[in-house]
């Protein structure tokens, strides 16, 4: 393992002259350390890095990793014995330079009852360790935790502790998960760090630039680790890629877009998005929430003018506006910022609210410099780590709160009530 990591570090120096990430042209405050989460559990060679994700309205995908080949089988049920039902899935692995991943197991279980606590055990024979999760509500209200650019520092720990106390139903993440940045052991460490939360509530993610992990000439396939480890329910929404997909939960249509795959008007993603938006029935899902990574609106000096922000916005903003998308969450900029309803750079009462929430706690620190004067469309901006909670109360109202990590305490620093476009006749077409 040590030799492997030294080889990788040497390698990073070499590939650094190519491209892995963007260039940062601003000063960040000192980040907190990255604690490597050791593989300390005696049973962890059998199973570790458990996380779950929603599949359709009443199924759940259970994902975990073992060091050695074992059965991709999940035993589950509403009692702690977890033996009412079982399901079998698939196992995969990947190679990244000198690194060989463990056995990555994916099993979809269900149908499940809504808002119900289920217990589950993994493998065959089933593990002695029992996990549990709560299924999603079938109708409103629903509470989303929103956190971007998470990483795995002590700031990340603080954020996760705060999120865990929020009694959320589903976590949605607009990209940049582990900050492994080619060092594949850090994906394993990240999986162990988030397991206590991600094994109990569905985590739905999309990709950021730190998920690309492409090395010119040497490892040309992007998203190798991300796609293998964080499989999302893309087929169910007619998408052909794990990098963009959508799903309905309670009365919310959530769209996860890919900022680091093609998004021009002739791209598969664009055509899929157009079709997906046309299929939305606001009577069933009065809310539409979209996640991207590189923000389309930002008054922070970090990451200004990047291709993924400028060109994706130019390509897709009309689609979101015409579909009356309610909220767009982004990450990438390590700070918090909330815009008013906006379209084509101007306040527009029929445009989405754009919110940047790239402040999960990653090792790169905060983006502290803002463009002055503050644009009129920017309603609140602050460079601090934290997380957001979107509580969709009913078909017409949702409350958004931003919880700032203030000396390790979560402090509500921004709060606003949102009204859905489906309840707003003046914007209904």
Residue 336's SS3 state is: strand
Q: Which stretch binds Fe ion (CB under 5 A): 200-208, 257-265, 360-368, 377-385?
A: 200-208
From 126, 148, 208, 258, residue interacting with Fe ion (rule: CB under 5 A):
208
Q: Which stretch binds Fe ion (CB under 5 A): 57-65, 68-76, 140-148, 173-181?
A: 173-181
Residues 191, 178: Cα–Cα separation, whole Å: 8
Closest approach of Cβ 293 to Fe ion, in Å? 6
Query: Which CB atom, from 127 or from 259, has the smaller least distance to Fe ion?
Result: 259
- Whether 303 is catalytic is yes
Residues 71, 90: Cα–Cα separation, whole Å: 9
Site string for Fe ion, 121-160 (x = CB under 5 A): ----------------------------------------
Q: Which stretch binds Fe ion (CB under 5 A): 44-52, 176-184, 259-267, 348-356?
A: 176-184
Q: What are the C-alpha distances in Å from 59 to residues 143, 232, 250, 336, 360?
A: 18, 12, 13, 33, 28
Query: Which CB atom, from 192 or from 332, has the smaller least distance to Fe ion?
Result: 332
Residues 356, 360: Cα–Cα separation, whole Å: 11
* Structure tokens that stand for 271 in this block: 């055509």
Closest approach of Cβ 175 to Fe ion, in Å? 6
Residues 54, 52: Cα–Cα separation, whole Å: 7
* Structure tokens that stand for 373 in this block: 């004067």
Touching Fe ion, residues 283-342 (CB under 5 A)? 332
* Omega before residue 125 within 30° of 0, cis: yes
Query: Which CB atom, from 182 or from 252, has the smaller least distance to Fe ion?
Result: 182
Residues 136, 142: Cα–Cα separation, whole Å: 8
| 253 and 395 Cβ atoms separated by less than 8 Å | no
Query: Which CB atom, from 105 or from 303, has the smaller least distance to Fe ion?
Result: 303
Closest approach of Cβ 208 to Fe ion, in Å? 4
Closest approach of Cβ 49 to Fe ion, in Å? 22
Closest approach of Cβ 149 to Fe ion, in Å? 6
Residues 97, 182: Cα–Cα separation, whole Å: 9
Residues 15, 58: Cα–Cα separation, whole Å: 44
Residues 16, 10: Cα–Cα separation, whole Å: 10
Query: Which CB atom, from 176 or from 359, has the smaller least distance to Fe ion?
Result: 176
From 169, 176, 276, 317, residue interacting with Fe ion (rule: CB under 5 A):
176
Q: What is the DSSP string of 379-419?
A: EEEE---EEEEEEE-SSSEEEEEEEEEETTEEEEEEEEEEE
Residues 379, 152: Cα–Cα separation, whole Å: 29
Tokens 């299924």 locate to 135
Tokens 């990793």 locate to 65
Query: Which CB atom, from 169 or from 176, has the smaller least distance to Fe ion?
Result: 176
Closest approach of Cβ 272 to Fe ion, in Å? 23
Choose, from 105, 162, 303, 332, the residue flagged as catalytic: 303
Closest approach of Cβ 148 to Fe ion, in Å? 8
Q: Is 36 left (phi over 0), alpha (psi -120 to 50) or beta?
A: beta
Q: Which stretch binds Fe ion (CB under 5 A): 5-13, 71-79, 138-146, 202-210?
A: 202-210
361 binds Fe ion (CB under 5 A): no
Which residues of the shown chain bind Fe ion in the complex (CB under 5 A)?
A: 176, 208-209, 332
Residues annotated as catalytic are 303
């Amino acid at each position: 393992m040590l030799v492997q990591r030294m080889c990788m570090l040497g390698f990073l120096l070499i590939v650094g002259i190519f491209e892995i990430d963007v260039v940062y042209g601003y000063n960040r405050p000192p980040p907190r350390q990255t604690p490597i989460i050791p593989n300390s559990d005696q049973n962890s060679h059998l199973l570790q890095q458990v996380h779950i994700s929603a599949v359709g309205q009443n199924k759940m995908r259970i994902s975990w990793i073992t060091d050695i080949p074992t059965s991709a089988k999940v035993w589950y049920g509403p009692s702690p014995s977890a033996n009412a039902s079982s399901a079998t899935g698939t196992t995969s692995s990947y190679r990244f330079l000198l690194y060989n991943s463990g056995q990555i197991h994916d099993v979809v279980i269900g149908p499940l009852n809504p808002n119900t606590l289920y217990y589950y055990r993994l493998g065959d024979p089933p593990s002695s360790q029992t996990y549990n999760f709560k299924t999603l509500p079938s109708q409103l209200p629903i509470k989303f935790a929103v956190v971007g650019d998470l990483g795995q520092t002590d700031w990340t720990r603080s954020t996760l502790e705060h999120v865990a106390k929020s009694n959320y139903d589903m976590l949605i993440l607009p990209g940049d998960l582990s900050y492994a940045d080619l060092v594949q052991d850090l994906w394993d460490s990240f999986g162990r760090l988030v397991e206590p939360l991600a094994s109990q509530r569905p985590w739905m993610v999309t990709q950021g630039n730190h998920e690309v992990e492409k090395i010119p000439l040497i490892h040309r396939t992007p998203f190798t680790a991300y796609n293998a480890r964080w499989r999302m329910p893309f087929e169910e929404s007619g998408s052909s890629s794990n990098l963009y997909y959508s799903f309905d939960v309670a009365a919310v249509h959530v769209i996860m877009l890919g900022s680091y795959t093609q998004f021009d008007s002739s791209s598969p993603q664009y055509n899929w998005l157009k079709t997906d938006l046309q299929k939305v029935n606001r009577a069933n899902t009065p809310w539409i929430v979209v996640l991207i990574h590189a923000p389309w609106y930002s008054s922070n000096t970090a990451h200004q003018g990047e291709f993924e922000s400028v060109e994706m916005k130019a390509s897709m903003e009309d689609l979101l506006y015409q579909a009356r998308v309610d909220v767009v969450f982004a990450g990438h900029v390590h700070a918090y910022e909330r815009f008013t309803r906006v379209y084509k750079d101007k306040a527009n009462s029929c445009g989405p609210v754009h919110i940047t929430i790239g402040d999960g706690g990653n090792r790169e620190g905060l983006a502290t410099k803002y463009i002055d004067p503050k644009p009129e469309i920017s309603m609140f901006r602050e460079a601090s780590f934290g997380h957001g909670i979107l509580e969709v109360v009913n078909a017409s109202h949702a409350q958004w709160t931003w919880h700032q990590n203030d000396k390790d305490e979560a402090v509500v620093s921004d709060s606003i009530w949102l009204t859905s476009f489906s309840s707003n006749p003046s914007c209904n077409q």
